[in-house]
Amino acid sequence: MIEAAFAALGTLFTPSTLSFVLLGVGVGLMVGILPGLGGTVGMSLALPFIFGMDPDQAIALLIGIAAVVHTADTFPSVLLGVPGSSGSQATIMDGYPLARQGQASRALAAAFFASMAGGVIGAVCIFLVLPVARPMVLAFGSPELLMLAVLGLSMVGILSGDRPARGMVMAASGLLLGAVGAAPATPFYRFTAGNLYLYDGIPLAVLALGLFALPEILDLLAKGERIATEGTQPARGSVLQGLKDVLASKWLVVRSAVLGVGVGFIPGLGGSVVDWISYGVAARTSRDSEGFGSGDIRGVIAPESSNNAKEGGALIPTLLFGIPGSGATAVLLGGFVVLGLQPGPRMLTDNLDVTLLIIWTLALANVFGTLACLSVSGLVARLARVPAARLAPFLLVIMLVGAYQSTRSWGDLIAFLVIGTLAWFLRRADYPLPPLLIGFVLSTSVERNLFLSVERYGWSWLGHPGVLVITAMTVALTWGSMRVSKRAEQR
């Protein structure tokens, strides 16, 4: 396998393959930086072009895109408090407060280094885990997936700050909003009022943009402020500081990346929850965690390490079983079919060279993506100093464009405006919005897996070993965070 790995590395470093990696990285960064567009869109863009391409080059292009979307999506998350894609939702929790404190460059640099480390760790993990991953993937059935979703929901406590009851109300609102549209267990459309737009449910990008972007921009405009309310740090020192922050939190990076790979390789759970889980785990298990939510750099490092690592994890079920672990890998699967590759256990025997090329590309694209983002981060961070009235028209246009790409109907734009206005009222009355988003993200997973578990196992699934282990983890993390909160209150 080591010889094959070196041969794949040689293939990657041929000028033609390398140029396609760079092209993929460029497209991935461009897609990532636009709020509302994610890896799935980026991969879909490239798919029509790979017909007839050399498989090595096509794979370099596709993996190059997938690897760096979650690196570039940090820009809107940190600078605007708007999730750049589904994988960078939790980054806004501390990234945006840091930008408001004039530390946007530091937050961006830390995020990019953490993303790179996470991506490389993800690639190493696939290399190590791939030969033994098959039984691990098969061990996750619907009961275990349901309990993982419950573990994700338990993060609401962390995300609610000092308003736990309001946080739970918001989480319930998210769970209910997630039930709009087609029911997973039966052909029936719920809460649509006959409106065709709602038949497929509310798109995640529209909801996230409406919840976070519009209220923030409206407030900035009304106050006549800039994003950075305090003095801005010089970019060069901040990049170094960001690197130091990541090095100081090296075990957090490793832990979050491994968590990202773990969540990523469970098909069906989806990448939209991994950053929340790693953020919650970091907030609950780190020392002096009182600063989480108000500008703790570890709150940026943890989700950014895990969301890039997740792409590696999501490749495991894709390669071994042909089961996509995320939207982007679903499109990648389509790419494999176009290239005449058949995902399955034979990817480790007959197509080992392709598999190893994927792993190397993943690692290298993460490095390229980080270098590219770092080179422009200082310039982009200056946007935080521009008065809102001069920045807002461009941001609003970008957000409308991003929102419209969700289903490409007028409903996206109207929903964006309605959700944004309602979110402004909720925010003003001190209702925490992140729990609403996490409830929404997990709603389908909770309902579908609860239905499947009860249909398949009755209530005996509650005794499954995996269920018990995840329940114990949920209880331990919740109890741990309550203890930390109590200690903080006593101090």
Partner 1 sequence: MNARAIAVLLTALFTAAAAVSWTFPPRARVYPMWVAIVGAALAALTWLRAPRSETVSGPTLSEIARYLWWIGALLVTTGILGLPTASALFAAAFLKHEGKAGPGASVGAAIATGVGLLVLGAALDLRWPPALIDVTRLLGLS
Residues binding partner 1 (CB under 8 A): 30-31, 34, 37, 41, 45, 165-166, 168-169, 172-173, 175-176, 179, 183, 185-186, 188, 190-191, 214, 217-219, 221-223, 387, 389-390, 392-394, 396-397, 400-401, 404-405, 408, 410, 413-414, 417, 421, 424-431, 446-447, 450-451
Return the structure tokens found at 277: 């889980």
Whole-number minimum distance, CB 105 to partner 1, in Å? 24
Nearer CB in complex with partner 1: 248/396 = 396
Nearer CB in complex with partner 1: 173/471 = 173
Task: Write out the H or E segment, with its range, that includes residue 56.
Answer: helix 55-72
Q: Is the backbone of residue 233 left (phi > 0), alpha (psi -120 to 50) or beta?
A: beta
Nearer CB in complex with partner 1: 216/275 = 216
Whole-number minimum distance, CB 175 to partner 1, in Å? 5
Residues pairing with 182 in the sheet: 189
Distance between CA atoms of residues 468 and 44, nearest Å: 39
Task: Write out the H or E segment, with its range, that includes residue 426.
Answer: helix 410-428
Whole-number minimum distance, CB 410 to partner 1, in Å? 6
Whole-number minimum distance, CB 326 to partner 1, in Å? 20
Nearer CB in complex with partner 1: 364/452 = 452
Return the structure tokens found at 160: 């609610």
Whole-number minimum distance, CB 137 to partner 1, in Å? 27
Distance between CA atoms of residues 427 and 421, nearest Å: 10
Nearer CB in complex with partner 1: 127/404 = 404
Nearer CB in complex with partner 1: 39/343 = 39
| Residue 357: closest CA among 51, 48, 16 | 16
Whole-number minimum distance, CB 375 to partner 1, in Å? 20
Nearer CB in complex with partner 1: 41/484 = 41
Whole-number minimum distance, CB 223 to partner 1, in Å? 6
Q: Is the backbone of residue 111 left (phi > 0), alpha (psi -120 to 50) or beta?
A: alpha
The single-letter code of the amino acid at 350 is D
Beta carbons within 10 angstroms of residue 32's beta carbon: 29
Return the structure tokens found at 211: 């919840």
Whole-number minimum distance, CB 5 to partner 1, in Å? 34
Distance between CA atoms of residues 122 and 447, nearest Å: 30
Q: What is the DSSP string of 202-222?
A: --HHHHHIIIIIHHHHHHHHH
CB 114 within 8 A of CB 253: yes
Whole-number minimum distance, CB 164 to partner 1, in Å? 10
* Secondary structure tally for the chain: helices H, strands E: 23, 2
Nearer CB in complex with partner 1: 216/304 = 216
Distance between CA atoms of residues 260 and 125, nearest Å: 10
Nearer CB in complex with partner 1: 451/457 = 451
Distance between CA atoms of residues 158 and 478, nearest Å: 9
Beta carbons within 10 angstroms of residue 451's beta carbon: 16
